[in-house]
C-alpha cells in the first residue's frame, strides 16, 4: 500500500487548509419545528435575591469546589475510597410500596441518584453542583432516570423489576406487539438483545407510572423521581418521550434527513431541557422553546463528536442525504473520511447550523432565576467548547475522543457560576469582550 493512501497520514492531512465550501448547503431549522413567537418582556421578579442568600451561596460554592479539588487530589495519588454503587432496596421483592415510605428511605434514594450522577455524569454534575440542595438533588433524580434509560437501550444495564415474569409477561408482550405495529419495521438488533431491551423499557415505563399515582416504586431512581415531579410539577409526557426515543434506537440506526434527526434529538435531549427548566423555575412560557433549542444543540454536538464510535456500532446519525449530496460515503466514516476533501467543510457547516440552536439556547438564561441559570449556562459552555475543539481538529473525531478534562470542567463551571450568580450586570460588556477573544466562556 502506498504511504499516501495510508490512514497513518491522517494527522498530516488534517493540517491542510482549504476553502470551507459545501457542494450542498446544509439546511438550518427542521421543518417540523414550531414557528418563532414574539419575545415578551423579561421578568425581573426572580432575579433579585437577598444579600444574605447570595453570600451563603458563594460560601457554599467555594466549599464545593475545594472539596471537589481535594477529592481529585486524593484520587490522583490512589488513596480514594471508591465505594461501589449499591441499590439500597435491592433485597426487596415487591415492586411498590402502597403507602408513602419514611423520609429516611427517600433520603437514601436521593443519595443513590446523586452518587450515580457523580460517577457517570462528567459534564452534567459539574453543571448543577452549585445549585441549592433541593434543586441539585432533583437534577440528580432526573439525570439518574435518563442515565438508566440510556443504559438499557444502548448499554448492558440489567434493570430490576421484581414481581414480573420478564419477557413472557402478557402486558410486556402486548406492549411489544403494539409498538412493532406502530414502528412498521423490524428491530436492528439480534432477537435476544431486542427482547431483553424492549422488555426492560416496558417495565421502566411502568415504574414511571408510579410517579403519577398513589403508589411508590421500590426502585430508588423512581422513588426520588416521584418526589421531584411532585415538588416541581413536571409533566409525564417529557419522560414518556425520552423512553420513546430510547425505543427508537431498537428499530432505527440511520436517518435520511435532518427533519428525522431533529425528531430524534427532541426525544432524547430537548425533553431533558424541558424537565430541567421546571426545576430551575421560569415565568415566561418562551423558556420552553429555548429549552428545546438547548437540547437540540447539545445532541447535534454529541452526534458529530461520536461519529467514529457510532459507526463501530453500525449507527449513523448524520443525515444520509446530506452526506450523499456532498460526496461523503457511509463506508468512509470509519476514519478514512478525514481524507475526503468535503469532510472538513461539512463539519464546519454542521457546526454553524448547530450554533443557530446555541444562539437560541443562550436566550433561555435571562428567563431563569439568577440562582439557577448558571446550570444550563455551564452545560452550554461545555458543549460549545467541545464543538470548537472539533473544528480546531478539522473534524477528526476518530483518532481520539474529543472531550473536556476534569480541570476544564471545574474551571468552566466556576467561571460561569461567578458570571451568572455573582457579577453585577454592569460588568456584562467586560465579560463579553473577554469572551470574544477567547479568555472567558461566551455564555
Rounded to 10 degrees, what is the CA torsion of 390, 148, 208, 250? 70
Q: Which tens digits make up the pLDDT trace of 164-180?
A: 888 999 999 999 999 99
Which architecture, in CATH terms, is 91-252? Orthogonal Bundle (1.10)
For the segment 366-383, what is each residue's pLDDT rounded down to a tens digit?
A: 999 988 999 999 999 999
Residue 122 has pLDDT above 80, yes or no: no
pLDDT, tens digit, 9 for 90 and up, residues 277-310: 999 999 999 999 999 999 999 999 999 999 999 9
SS (H, E, C) the chain: CCHHHCHHHHHHHHCCCCCCCCCCCCCCCCCCCCCCCCCCCCCCHHHCCCHHHHHHHHHHHHHHHHHHHHHHHHHHCCCCCCCCCCCCCCCCCCCEECCCCCHHHHHHHHHHHHHHHHHHCHHHHHHHCCCCHHHHHHHHHHHHHHHHHHHHHHCCCCCCCCCCCHHHCHHHHHHHHHHHHHHCCCCCCCHHHHHHHHHHHHHHHHHHHHHHCCCEECCHHHHHHHHHHHHHCCCHHHHHHHHHHHHHCCCCCECCCHHHHHHHHHHHHHHHHHHHHHHHCCCCCHHHHHHHHHHHHHHHHHHHHCHHHHHHCCCECCCHHHHHHCCCCHHHHHCHHHHCCCHHHHHHHHHHHHHHHHHHHHCCHHHCCCCCCHHHHHHHHHHHHHHHHHHHCCCCCCCCCCCCCHHHHHHHHHHHHHHHHHCCHHHHHHHHHHHHCCCCCCC
Per mean pLDDT, which range of 50-64, 136-150, 257-271, 282-296 is the poorest?
50-64
**Overall average pLDDT of the 175-204 stretch:** 92
Residue of higher predicted confidence among 40 and 398: 398
Backbone angles phi, psi at 232, to 5 degrees: -110, 0
For residue 133, pLDDT over 80 is answered with yes
- Look at residue 68 in the predicted model and tell me its pLDDT: 52
* 39 has a pLDDT exceeding 70: no
**Location of C-alpha cell 472531550:** 403
CATH number for region 281-443: 1.10.600.10
Contact between residue 307 and residue 333 where contact means Cβ atoms under 8 Å apart: yes
pLDDT surpasses 70 at 324? yes
Span 233-282, pLDDT tens digits? 999 999 999 999 999 999 999 999 999 999 999 999 999 999 999 999 99
Query: How many residues are there in the chain?
Result: 443
Examine the pLDDT at 5 and tell me if it is beyond 50.
no
Span 392-437, pLDDT tens digits: 999 999 998 898 888 888 888 888 888 887 777 777 787 777 777 7
pLDDT above 70 as % of the chain: 82
Going by pLDDT thresholds of 50, 70 and 90, the confidence category of residue 53 is: very low
Averaged pLDDT, 4-20: 42
CA distance 121 to 145: 12
Q: In the prediction, which pLDDT does 41 show?
A: 55
More confident residue, 335 or 76: 335
Least confident of 48-57, 66-75, 265-274: 48-57
Amino acid at each position: 500500500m502506498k504511504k499516501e493512501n495510508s490512514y497513518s497520514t491522517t494527522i498530516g492531512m488534517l493540517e491542510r487548509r482549504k476553502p470551507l465550501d459545501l457542494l450542498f448547503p446544509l439546511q438550518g431549522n427542521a421543518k417540523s419545528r414550531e414557528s418563532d413567537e414574539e419575545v415578551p418582556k423579561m421578568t425581573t421578579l426572580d432575579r433579585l435575591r437577598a444579600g444574605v442568600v447570595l453570600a451563603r451561596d458563594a460560601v457554599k460554592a467555594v466549599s464545593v469546589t475545594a472539596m471537589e479539588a481535594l477529592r481529585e487530589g486524593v484520587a490522583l495519588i490512589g488513596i480514594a475510597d471508591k465505594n461501589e454503587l449499591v441499590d439500597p432496596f435491592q433485597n426487596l421483592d415487591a415492586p411498590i410500596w402502597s403507602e408513602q415510605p419514611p423520609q429516611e428511605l427517600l433520603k437514601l434514594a436521593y443519595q443513590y441518584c446523586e452518587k450515580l450522577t457523580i460517577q457517570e455524569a462528567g459534564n452534567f454534575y459539574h453543571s448543577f453542583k452549585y445549585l441549592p440542595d433541593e434543586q441539585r438533588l432533583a437534577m440528580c433524580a432526573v439525570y439518574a432516570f435518563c442515565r438508566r434509560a440510556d443504559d438499557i437501550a444502548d448499554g448492558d444495564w440489567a434493570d430490576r423489576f421484581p414481581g414480573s415474569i420478564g419477557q413472557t409477561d402478557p402486558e410486556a408482550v402486548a406492549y411489544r406487539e403494539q409498538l412493532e405495529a406502530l414502528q412498521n419495521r423490524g428491530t436492528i438488533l439480534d432477537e435476544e438483545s431486542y427482547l431483553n431491551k424492549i422488555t426492560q423499557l416496558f417495565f421502566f415505563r411502568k415504574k414511571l407510572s408510579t410517579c403519577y399515582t398513589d403508589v411508590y416504586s421500590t426502585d430508588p431512581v423512581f422513588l426520588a423521581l416521584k418526589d421531584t415531579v411532585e415538588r416541581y410539577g413536571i409533566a409525564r409526557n417529557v419522560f414518556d418521550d425520552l423512553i420513546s426515543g430510547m425505543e427508537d434506537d431498537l428499530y432505527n440506526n440511520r436517518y435520511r434527513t435532518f427533519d428525522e434527526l431533529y425528531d430524534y434529538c427532541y426525544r432524547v435531549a430537548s425533553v431533558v431541557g424541558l424537565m430541567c427548566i421546571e426545576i430551575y423555575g421560569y415565568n415566561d412560557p418562551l423558556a420552553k422553546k429555548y429549552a428545546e433549542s438547548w437540547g437540540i444543540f447539545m445532541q447535534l454536538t454529541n452526534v458529530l463528536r461520536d461519529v467514529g464510535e457510532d459507526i463501530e456500532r453500525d449507527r449513523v446519525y448524520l443525515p444520509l442525504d446530506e452526506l450523499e449530496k456532498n460526496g461523503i460515503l457511509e463506508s468512509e466514516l470509519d476514519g478514512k473520511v478525514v481524507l475526503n476533501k468535503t469532510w472538513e467543510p461539512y463539519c464546519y457547516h454542521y457546526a454553524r447550523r448547530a450554533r443557530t440552536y446555541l444562539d437560541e439556547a443562550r436566550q433561555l438564561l435571562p428567563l431563569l432565576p439568577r440562582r439557577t441559570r448558571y446550570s444550563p449556562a455551564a452545560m452550554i459552555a461545555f458543549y460549545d467548547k467541545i464543538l470548537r475543539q472539533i473544528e480546531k481538529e478539522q473534524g477528526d473525531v476518530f483518532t481520539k475522543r474529543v472531550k473536556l478534562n476534569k480541570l476544564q470542567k471545574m474551571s468552566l463551571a466556576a467561571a460561569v457560576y461567578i458570571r451568572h450568580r455573582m457579577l453585577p450586570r454592569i460588568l456584562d460588556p467586560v465579560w463579553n469582550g473577554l469572551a470574544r477573544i477567547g479568555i472567558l466562556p461566551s455564555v
